A and B are shown apart, each in its own frame.
Chain A
Amino acid sequence: MHLRKTAQKTALSSFSRRRLLSTMASLAGVAAVRQAFGRDLNISALPGYAGLPSDTQPQQLVRYPQKTDLILLTDRPPQLETPLRYFRTDLTPNDAFFVRWHLAGIPTTVDLSSFRLEVGGHIHNPLRLSLNDLQSKFMPVTLVALVQCSGNARSLFEPRVPGGQWGNGAMGNARWKGVPLKDVLDAAGVLPGAMDVGLHGLDEPVLPQTPRFQKSLHIDHARNGEVMIAYEMNGEPIPMLNGFPLRLIVPGWYATYWVKSLSSITVLDQPLKTFWMDKAYRIPDNPQANESPQHLAADTVPISRMAVHSIFVTPESGEQLHVGKSYEISGVATDGGSGIRSVEVSTDAGQRWTAAELGQDLGRYSWRLWKMAWKPASAGHYRLMVRATTNSGETQATTQWNRSGYQRDMIEHCDVVVG
């Protein structure tokens, strides 16, 4: 057995999903539980190997700097998931906000006296802007917007796919303050013929030959007035692990475009060529990003706008409820900028649907909380389901799969036992 480094002690605590699941298995029919918790029960133990894949291990909570206890997916580079209980409020606390970096050379020290955001390329006036420049020379704007990892809920896809095995906690809703990217580009003076805007941050690959993390937006998108260079998150500086001191805000689009610790903006007169646009973060070229293992889509496109989705926050799958007691079924509904028109909940596995009450409307790029009172009248196994519809009429899928586990928009369920 290799034991790497010293044992993590106080920063780690754990809870056991397996214990819960074994309880569930004894309470309910195995088939029903397999369907609900397939991702756990399908995993067979690996006799002979003492260190087991985490699917068979208890989840670990870990505390990183400026963060509360989050679910540890990976440590280097860090991928930390927000526990669902933080999704009961309109805005997700900064210290509970999920963390996801691609390359191990993440920024851990930023000296604001030397930090500059460089703006160059196909422009008149190259700029080197300090944080203070951005705060004092441009008009600030604020916006509440959801940021969600492209692979949020990847662990729910069947068959399973490689990648960060997120539950539903690779997202969060925050109030961002900063300056429109358009205003900065205008100050730089974009030249005719501009096509793309390339963006990268302070993160670096370990190996020099690894492509640095870079994304691009079409020039029209970059200049739409909504894309923002944020320096505040929920009224505070952005936590280091969420992209201090500047983060690109791309309202309605998946987090892969929300470049953290943004340090470079390059206007291009041709499309940016990078692994991170050309090979990674691509989805099947159809509206619900669908394909099957047997028939992989021949054409793929870069992932972009967030699909409509809704999840349960309370109760959690596997929770034990009581007959005749009042419960609040609640959750969040998310989409890519149209806004949520309605959320419907079923307590009978999708036979009948009831409109849920929507929470505060914080703007079309925000997520929307929803809730519904429920008093189960009799004992048994219940499958709760939730589906959302956007203002533009977009609805959720009943089945969905793609090879990368991206753009989850399937109607979700939550199995509970009432006794």
Chain B
Amino acid sequence: MRMLRSASALFAFVAVASLLFASQSGQQPGTSSASAEAIGGQVHSITLPDISTEIPKGPHVDTFDRNCLTCHSARYVLTQPPFSKAVWESEVKKMVAAYGAPISAQDQERIVEYLDAINGAKSPQTAAPPK
């Protein structure tokens, strides 16, 4: 899986989340509800659906792909309205400062460029100020 290319992300997946995601592999789209029932009286289990997301091309898309999709899917970005570069900058900074995303300063800049390119505000009125 391409989202696992970053070494630290791979470590995190192995260390923390392998159990949580193991059940998703091989799941076919649209079959999730069939597996929603409890396996036995005591073990209750669901299988999350596998939802595709098209990632728009843009400058530094690989940097976005490599860093951002470890913790959340691309829809977290693609469902946002257009924002100013300042807002995108603050969002990326929040991922690093608050959530501990291991993203270098250079990669942070590249990600902001990418977000601004694919979903930048066309006028300042449509954007909230940075948090």
| Contacting pair A73 B79 (CB below 8 A) | yes
Digit string of A201-222 for contact with B (CB within 8 Å is 1, else 0)?
0001111111100000000000
Q: Which of B55, B70, B79, B126 contacts A165 (CB 8 A)?
A: B79
| Contacting pair B16 A165 (CB below 8 A) | no
| Contacting pair B79 A54 (CB below 8 A) | yes
Digit string of A39-83 for contact with B (CB within 8 Å is 1, else 0)?
100111010011111110000001111110000111111100000
CB nearest neighbor in B for A106? B20
A7 at the interface (CB under 8 A from B): yes
CB nearest neighbor in B for A68? B33
Question: What residues of B have a CB within 8 angstroms of the CB of A46 in the complex?
Answer: 56, 118-119
Question: What residues of A have a CB within 8 angstroms of the CB of B127 in the complex?
Answer: 159-160
A27 at the interface (CB under 8 A from B): no
- Residues 129 to 186 of chain A near chain B (Cβ within 8 Å): 155, 159-162, 164-165
| Contacting pair A245 B44 (CB below 8 A) | yes
| Contacting pair A53 B53 (CB below 8 A) | no
Task: Assess A10 versus B42: contact at CB under 8 Å? Given A64-B49, A75-B73.
Answer: no
Question: What residues of B have a CB within 8 angstroms of the CB of A204 in the complex?
Answer: 16-17, 20
CB nearest neighbor in A for B43? A111
Q: Which of A44, A49, A53, A207 contacts B122 (CB 8 A)?
A: A44
Question: What residues of A have a CB within 8 angstroms of the CB of B47 in the complex?
Answer: 65, 108
| Contacting pair B71 A161 (CB below 8 A) | no
| Contacting pair B51 A296 (CB below 8 A) | no
Task: Assess A3 versus B78: contact at CB under 8 Å? Given A11-B29, A65-B46, A275-B98.
Answer: no
Question: Which residue of A74, A105, A279 has the most chain B CB atoms within 10 A of its CB atom?
Answer: A74
| Contacting pair B129 A53 (CB below 8 A) | no
**Number of residues on chain B facing chain A (CB within 8 A):** 68
| Contacting pair B57 A7 (CB below 8 A) | no
A28 at the interface (CB under 8 A from B): no
Question: What residues of B have a CB within 8 angstroms of the CB of A11 in the complex?
Answer: 29-33, 49, 51
Interface contacts (Cβ under 8 Å), in number, total 238
Question: What residues of A have a CB within 8 angstroms of the CB of B101 in the complex?
Answer: 207
Question: Which residue of B29, B45, B51, B98 has the most chain A CB atoms within 10 A of its CB atom?
Answer: B51
CB nearest neighbor in B for A163? B80
| Contacting pair A54 B55 (CB below 8 A) | no
Task: Assess A63 versus B100: contact at CB under 8 Å? Given A49-B56, A206-B70, A208-B12.
Answer: no
| Contacting pair B129 A296 (CB below 8 A) | yes
Q: Which of B12, B28, B35, B76 contacts A207 (CB 8 A)?
A: B12
CB distance from B98 to the nearest CB of A (A): 6
Please, how many angstroms separate the alpha-carbon atoms of A78 and B128 in the complex? 24
Q: Which of A10, A44, A52, A209 contacts B100 (CB 8 A)?
A: A209
CB nearest neighbor in A for B45? A109
Q: Can you list 13 pairs linking A and B with CB atoms under 8 Å apart?
A: A2-B57, A6-B52, A46-B119, A52-B56, A55-B82, A74-B73, A74-B76, A75-B75, A112-B42, A205-B99, A207-B16, A210-B99, A210-B100
Other A-B pairs beyond A50-B57, A104-B20, A403-B129, 18, CB < 8 Å: A2-B54, A4-B54, A4-B74, A8-B51, A43-B82, A44-B82, A49-B58, A75-B53, A76-B75, A110-B45, A111-B44, A159-B126, A162-B91, A164-B79, A207-B101, A207-B102, A240-B36, A404-B131
